Chains A and B, each alone.
Chain A
């Protein structure tokens, strides 16, 4: 296939068009009646292309992308599982697509039922009382959850609690979400295995602590075995426990955050519940709370009455609104279809098979790659680069070399606990054959690092584009076609 690198603007020819609208049935052009100073002075320079131009252009662009459907995507902490096609079909149903979000309740009972039933299913899976599905993404869920945490203390008149404890191994969004929610971050140290150091935690707990944010298993893929002790300590100090649901996948069928003592959590529907990542979004980050906190959840809320009729409610004690409407409803349809497809019989296998896959890769590769924390992991684990440090081949080099061999790279340089972190998460949807291929390639790269290190250091060698000049991109940002054209001129 020939290399394609045109921009849609570069296909544009004056007078060409890619649309057709019905003839104007109205005699007046009322725009002419609008005062001229309210109208656009300079026309926008938009593309003029035919329909086929558009179709070919974006089809060609799609060929320059790697998705889960292309190949194995072991990106740690991102849970890149297969995105079932039936979900897409359900989300495209016109009976949902045409609904205006401000239609009256009577006319959207089916949509409200989807929202309500998914909310109930997530409550059961999480072991928590109630969920809101309004947050648009994981980070948005974190922010919403922390707003719940603050509102809880403030409504009780406990206004001093403005600090939140975050482990130094946490996902980078945790401290950022805390800042945006107006909370001060207090860092708690991790033990070498990434678990929270309970002895370091104890002195941090006081009457200024709103709560703690944790992910379990932690970012090294290890279960926090002292979670019950941590929950007891935090609760005794008057704080709440927040669960970052990024790592929920291995627990499906085996454990529930609510049973561990967590009070608030978010779930990434685009990780655990198979909805597509969409190249960065739209996702969905539902937030669950234990019984007694549901009045704080954001507006609007969806409820069901004794007659089985669904309602949209606005609560006076709610923290407020964090979305214009009901969140990413299209994503909810997909997640609900996934839960119903697996059902009670199969959903419980998700966690165990994800965990088995991760351990299988880890055990097969720990001869060539440095495994800082031995023992059984959950859905993911972290290598600290190649075992043989004499070759000068870095984690970045290995990641780029994997692209040459048709695999997506793992998450690299996270967590920050190690210099050469390489975080691998296979998910349960991958077969042993796929894992074996990956293992074989990883061994091959390790061998190349010893024997022909330059091939690895210069990788990728076979991708459509090679190593990019990120420094120039950041120093002299070219962020749109207008700037690019001016620069070329």
Chain B
């Protein structure tokens, strides 16, 4: 059974978002890291890039699969988690502690479209 944290919002493409003021921290969920298996590479954007809700912002690769990362929010990338460049396996160890990027939210209403923990847990059960 995969872990789902209460204080986060989720996209049905298995990204999580932590909203703090106008900054969104984005990662992939425990369910997603389980499904991918051993993660070997995270393709991340660069600080300063613009990301758009519902569009690709990078990719995660495991030994046998590659999966696009879909941004749950729109805005400018403030920071990416450089620790993942050398140690992508951190996501397997703790997907919620090891975020991928921080975004300055340009449209707060987008957050309302995301799932809450209960709704996301249901998505994972399907």
Contact = CB atoms under 8 A, between A and B. Distances in A.
Contacts of B15: none
B48 to A, nearest CB: 27
Given A470-B63, A475-B41, 11 more contacts: A471-B38, A471-B40, A471-B63, A474-B40, A474-B41, A474-B61, A474-B63, A475-B38, A475-B40, A475-B88, A475-B89
Interface residues of B, number: 7
Contacts of B89: 475
Interface string B36-69: 0010110000000000000000000101000000
A470 B40 CA distance: 10
A470 B88 CA distance: 15
Please give me the 3 A-B residue pairs with the lowest Cβ-Cβ distance, nearest first: A474-B40, A475-B40, A471-B38
A471 B65 CA distance: 12
A185 to B, nearest CB: 16
5 contacts: A471-B38, A471-B63, A475-B40, A475-B88, A475-B89
A474 B38 CA distance: 10
Interface residues of A, number: 4
A99 B40 CA distance: 47
A474 B62 CA distance: 8
Interface of B: 38, 40-41, 61, 63, 88-89
Interface string A455-489: 00000000000000011001100000000000000
Contacts of B88: 475
A471 B61 CA distance: 11
B34 to A, nearest CB: 16
Interface of A: 470-471, 474-475
Nearest to B37: A471
A483 to B, nearest CB: 16
Contacts of A474: 40-41, 61, 63
Nearest to A475: B40
Nearest to A472: B40
Nearest to B39: A475
B93 to A, nearest CB: 14
Contacts of B41: 474-475
A475 B89 CA distance: 9
A3 B38 CA distance: 31
A184 B101 CA distance: 31
Contacts of A471: 38, 40, 63
A409 B63 CA distance: 20
A195 to B, nearest CB: 27
A475 B61 CA distance: 10
Nearest to A469: B63
Nearest to A471: B38
Contacts of B40: 471, 474-475
B107 to A, nearest CB: 29
Nearest to B87: A475
A472 to B, nearest CB: 9
A474 B88 CA distance: 11
A173 B23 CA distance: 41
Nearest to B61: A474
Contacts of A470: 63
B56 to A, nearest CB: 15
B49 to A, nearest CB: 24
A467 to B, nearest CB: 13
A354 B104 CA distance: 62
Nearest to B88: A475
A470 B64 CA distance: 9
Contacts of B63: 470-471, 474
Contacts of B38: 471, 475
A4 B63 CA distance: 28
A89 to B, nearest CB: 41
B89 to A, nearest CB: 7
A202 to B, nearest CB: 28
A473 B26 CA distance: 28
B94 to A, nearest CB: 18
B87 to A, nearest CB: 9
Nearest to A470: B63
A421 to B, nearest CB: 14
A144 B40 CA distance: 34
B42 to A, nearest CB: 11
Nearest to A476: B40
